[in-house]
Structure 1
Amino acid sequence: MQIIIAGGGKVGAHLASQLCADGESVTVIESDPRAVERLRRACPDCAVVEASASDPRSLERAGVHMADALAAVTGADEVNLVIAMLAKMEFAVPRVIARVNNPANAWMFTPANGVDVGVNQADIIARFAREGMNLRDMLTLMRLGRDEHSIVQATVNTGSRVEGMALSDIGFPENTIVVAVDRAGSLTVPNGRTVLNAGDEAVLFCSREGREGIRRLFA
């Protein structure tokens, strides 16, 4: 995954460190030289571009044309909106997340303004970035135990390997259990004969190693 973080303050640095720890390819854009130095010391595996992220040329320098996702997390809502609109409408970044600093401005952070997800907490941003972007339509609902088993939710995409298949015919990763299937708001406990349709949301229990296999099946 190629991820750009616009804003290298406390939120941006926190997010960058988490994503780098997950093995993602992260580029941070920050205009404050002091913040840039802190970032380079704290996140040596991240690329840092010293520039204004609201300038299209800065986004191009950061590799926006190859980005899978961008998180605009500066301390100014108007700046985050400008960055989000540029990323989505000018450069067609698939996934754009923006930080909402003032809850009164939340109504502006919509897909119409280039924002796929508007959030106002660093940990929520990190969760959507790690799980929503890295695993596409798969979110970790809960982690269990020290060995990092998880309960995850995965959406059946049109054309995915599991679309139209009965659960008993799907080669799930080892130690994976399908706990429930949500179809158009109706939650059912499935059995081996349950067929997954596009748009269904499956809730699964799996190991840490199994999450990547699940992502490939549902992508």
Structure 2
Amino acid sequence: MRALIAGAGRLGTQIAQVLSAARNDVVLVERDEDRVAELEGLPHVRLLAGDACDPVVLERAGALTCDLVIAATGRDEDNLVVALLAKRRFGAGRVAARVNEAENAWLFDGRWGVDVAVPAATPLISLIEEATGATDTVALLRLSKAGVEVIETAITEESRAAGRALGEITLPAGTVVATVVRGGRPTVPGPGVRLLPGDELLLVSHEATEQEIHAAFQ
């Protein structure tokens, strides 16, 4: 699947990491060049600096060949414009848009090119499930076509992984850490990242169970 995500905030970045870890082709578009520079090195995600409300930028990002477009910016007006362009101008197969302000929810429908309207409070995994059309939920989510599971775990004061670097932790076979969320911001999970209480981890695995993941970190 080819996916285009507009907005590289916490939500957009996490979606990009999960979808790319599931072997999808992902492009992440962000207007803030400093944010784009911060995310350089994000595994298997193509980053593009630019305003996704600009049709030229969307075309450069591959909107003409996208199966899925997710408008995940923090501005409802931008998400509506992206959705409308994606559906009407570029013919995207499926368009999901984040609704930041509840009073604007009535706008997020087919008239604006929106197939799936997702309230801002919707959990990440539920958003991905709705946006991709995946329905087989195991642990948090099984991306059925890709045959992988996305499992979430949190580090507490009691976790045996607290204070240890990712590279020191033996993960179950076929498992990778997709992202570490710290202080509300996702970070690129290099082996030198030292885990702290309060960190939230998203892991993608072809083989491990939720219990095996829990055992590795807790």
TM-score (norm 1): 0.60
1:140 & 1:98 partners in 2: Cα distance? 22
Query: Which ranges in structure 2 are unaligned for 5 or more consecutive residues?
Result: 145-205, 208-218
Runs of 5+ unmatched residues, structure 1: 153-207, 210-219
- Equivalent residue, structure 2, for 1:55: 54
Secondary structure of the residue aligned to 2:39 is: helix
Query: What's the Cα RMSD here?
Result: 2.4
Aligned to 1:129: 128
The 5 A counterparts of 1:86-165 are 86-121=85-120, 124=123, 126-129=125-128, 133=132, 136=133, 138-143=134-139
Q: Against the structure 1 CA distance between its residues 26 and 118, is the aligned structure 2 distance closer, same or farther, given a 3 Å change threshold? A: same
Q: CA deviation at 1:139?
A: 0.7
* Alpha carbons of structure 1 residues 55 and 84: separation in structure 2 relative to 1, 3 Å: same
Q: How many residues were matched structurally?
A: 145
Give yes or no for contact 1:131–1:140 (8 Å, CA) kept in 2.
Answer: no
- 8 Å contact kept, 2:71–2:82: yes
Contact 1:76 1:101 in 2 (8 A): yes
Q: Does 1:3 align with 2:24?
A: no
Cα distance in structure 2, aligned partners of 1:127 and 1:25: 20
**Displacement of 1:9 after TM fit?**
1.1
Identity %: 39
Once residues 89 and 81 of structure 1 are traced to their aligned partners in structure 2, the CA distance between those partners, rounded to angstroms, is 12
Contact kept? 1:53, 1:83, Cα under 8 Å? yes
Residue by residue over 1:167-214, the C-alpha shift from the partner in whole angstroms, topping out at 9 and shown as x without a partner, is: xxxxxxxxxxxxxxxxxxxxxxxxxxxxxxxxxxxxxxxxx79xxxxx
> Counterpart in 2 of 1:79?
78
Q: Which amino acid aligns with 2:22?
A: D
Deviation track 1:24-48 (CA, whole Å, cap 9, x = no partner) reads: 110011110111012223x231001
1:70 alignment partner, SS class: strand
CA distance in 1, matches of 2:59, 2:121: 25
Give the Cα–Cα distance (whole angstroms) in 1 for the partners of residues 43 and 121 of structure 2: 20
Q: Aligned to 2:80, what secondary structure does the other structure show? A: helix
Matched, 1:18 2:18: yes
TM norm structure 2: 0.60
